[in-house]
Amino acid sequence: MSTLFDKTTAGLATAINMRMMKQNVIQSNIANAETPGYAAKKMDFEEALARALDVDGLRSVGTSHGDHFHVGGGSISKIRPDIYDNPLGQISNDGNTVDMASEMASLAENSIMYKAALQLINKKMASLKYAATEGR
């Protein structure tokens, strides 16, 4: 990414993309709530995003030898979320594991977090616009 955009902007853009993906997973669960045998899916990306951002370098591991693999903060653009069958789902009589109350709560939480990230990136872009136009 260009040096015009810092790590915060890149992190917010990635968070917005991941929130959209999570929204799709949740909506898929809700749409299949009545499908017999459907296993509810879950998506976790917060830990991967935290590792990639690693602002202070606290989670990175240094290497002492040239043959060692570098471990630590990866590229933000290469983050892939973990999507898996929800292990906490209660199996109903028809084999479906979707819990509508839990899914609706997740949907509301994800929407709020998406809107918050969107507002933050909009404010960041507004400050760049302000700086580029010299406050005019």
Domain span at residue 56?
7-132
**Averaged over 41-69, what is the pLDDT?**
65
The helix (run of H) or strand (run of E) holding residue 119 is: helix 100-132
pTM above 0.85, yes or no: no
Number of domains in the chain: 1
Q: What are 67-125's pLDDT values in tens digits?
A: 554 455 455 666 777 888 988 888 888 999 999 999 999 999 999 999 999 999 999 98
- Note whether residue 72 is domain-resident: yes
- Note whether residue 2 is domain-resident: no
Work out the number of other CB atoms within 10 angstroms of the CB of residue 45. Answer: 20
- State percent of the chain over pLDDT 70: 74
DSSP 14-67: HHHHHHHHHHHHHHHHHHTTTSTTPPPEEEE-HHHHHHHH-TTSSS-B--SSTT
- Note whether residue 1 is domain-resident: no
| CB distance 83 to 43 below 8 Å | yes
The helix (run of H) or strand (run of E) holding residue 83 is: strand 82-85
